[in-house]
Amino acid sequence: MIAKPRRIRERIGAFTIAPMSLEDIPGVMEIENQSFPIPWGESSFRYELLENPYASLFVGRTRADPPVVTFACVWIVDQEMRINNIAVHPRARAQGVGTRFLRFLLEHAASQGCREVTLEVRPSNGAALALYRRAGFIPVGRRKQYYTDTHEDAIVMWRRIEPRTA
């Protein structure tokens, strides 16, 4: 019997977190398209990056392949950060990338004077729910039939943070 080749997941080593640039969009789109049933289009990321004054976009980059391993789009309004979109490349999942990246986003929110962070998540996304719970988020509500592809509800999650001003 011939053995099937095993897929060995390469460990993602060090990665740096930086503001997203236009050059990052192809890598972000790769993650977006592999992560969401109804992905954002490139024009949505361009709008958030270039025109939305409330938006902050970040990426995690490596020197390996894939070069972009994670990204997020957040809005900061008054003293709240809303995480609109966050994902980790499938090859970088279950390696601590999401935990480290979410920690960075929470620190960024605190440095901007935010007192709370909110997000929506599908009830069927067990990995994301576990990540958010470990980071201190609690469910505070549901948005009925929020996701247009499946009509699945969204769980609204919330976390208090202490603002840090320089």
Catalytic residue annotation = 120, 132
d(CA 19, CA 85): 14
Residues 117/161, Cβ–Cβ less than 8 Å:
yes
Which pair of structure tokens corresponds to residue 59? Answer: 């990426």
Per DSSP, the three-state class of 133 is helix
d(CA 107, CA 163): 9
Taking alpha carbons only, the member of 50, 40, 136 closest to residue 85 is: 40
